[in-house]
Amino acid sequence: MTPSAQGSPCNQTGRGIGQGRSSDVDLAAGVDGVEAPRVIAVVLNWNNLPDTLECVASLRRSEYPKLDVWVVDNGSNEDPTQALGEQYPGVRVVRNAGNLGYGGGNNAGLRLAIQEGAAYILLMNNDAVVAPDMVRRLVSVMEDDPRVGFATPRVFYYDRPTEVYWDGGTIDWDTGDTPHDSRALPVSGDVRQSEWLDTCVLLARVTAIRDVGPLDERYFLYFEDTDWTLRAARRGWINAVVLPAQAWHKVSRSTGGIANPPILFYNIRNKYLFITEHSPSRKTLRWKLGYACDLWRDYAWLRSQHKSRRAVIAAVLSLSRREWGPYHAEGPSRKTVLLLDTVILSGLYAALAVKRSARLAKRVIRRLLRTLQPLRTRMRS
């Protein structure tokens, strides 16, 4: 019986996560009357065919018997259909007309996979690879416990294969940070319950997707996974990390990492959107004040890097206009960003000049007082 047939998934109590009814071996093999539920893997590709080919290769080595592999191409410059068809016949390629972002690209795959009758959908970053038994282990836990709506493996760094990248995460409502920090999260058997889940490798129950809704496409990139799985948790679904299941992630291969101005833009804008959407109201005002102070500090720190400091301004402008979607350094707001950057930077340097002048004045006064001290001593005597 599915969670929707019983009301809230949390109505089923009295046992730990994943401590349920089915046999892990029977589920994987599809024997003894147990039919393995259909899983469709959706690999999101954007201008990174070599990593996508490696990701697909790892999925094709999976021991799970009912796994279909799809590649959703997010408007890449090069059509990957031929290369994938030659190396991996049977892999379905879905091409989006343009770059719809992480949420939009994956939503296209989610909608089609649901229409095709999948029971579970595996979302995969194309710069990740999985162990042959990973899908089986994730499905087994979710079949055992219908309260689990989303599940991830324990994920390691690709270039440091024994160092953990992800095995659970928390949310700091004071700062808006969402660290990969599992130390205080509860564990039941081989399953850790997480406040949110990283979607670099994530298995989603279709029943949960229908209940929670799709990924929020306003984010475009970053925080959409935190938003999605937090919404699931607030509707009673469990976010699970299946610790024996393993994957490896190359981390930010398509985006270039946090130092990239577009990524700086998305983190600034989307953190604000996430917190204002989900934060307890008693903390929202305090967080906004801290957020403003952090922005000023970041801008001052980046003052010598014109692209990065303008990304900070563009993020604030996007929020003020409630404009979502991708970052455009040369977009229609460019003139406004340049004007604001000139004004703010001039003000910043003026403030720094005043601060330096004040420090210099203090040093001059201290030296003058030290010079006059002997004279004052003689005058008193």
Other Cβ atoms closer than 10 A to 303: 16
Residue 192 near residue 185 (C-beta atoms within 8 A): yes
Please say whether the beta carbons of 167 and 155 come within 8 A. Answer: yes
- Which tens digits make up the pLDDT trace of 146-174? 999 999 999 999 999 999 999 999 999 88
- Name the pLDDT band for 138 (thresholds 50, 70, 90): very high
Across the chain, mean pLDDT equals: 86
Q: How confident is the model at residue 5 (pLDDT cuts 50, 70, 90)?
A: very low
pLDDT tens across 293-346, in order?
888 888 888 888 889 888 999 999 999 899 999 998 777 788 888 888 788 777
Domains of the chain: 3-249 (3.90.550.60), 261-364 (no CATH)
Q: Does pLDDT of 223 surpass 80?
A: yes
Supply the pLDDT for residue 352. 67
pTM of the model: 0.84
| Residue matched to tokens 């991830």 | 152
- What's the pLDDT score for residue 23? 44
Q: Are 202 and 225 in contact (CB under 8 A)?
A: yes
Handedness of CA 351, 357, 362, 365 (dihedral sign): negative
**pLDDT in the model for residue 290:** 85
pLDDT of residue 4: 38
- For the stretch 197-210, pLDDT in tens is 999 999 999 999 99
* Complete DSSP assignment for 235-295: TT-EEEEEEEEEEEE--STTT--TTSHHHHHHHHHHHHHHHHHHS-HHHHHHHHHHHHHHH
Tokens of 111: 């909608």
pLDDT over threshold 60, residue 30: no
Which tokens belong to 297? 């500090």
Diameter over CA atoms, the chain: 107
User: 150: which 2 tokens?
Assistant: 């989303």
DSSP 355: H
What type of residue is 347? G
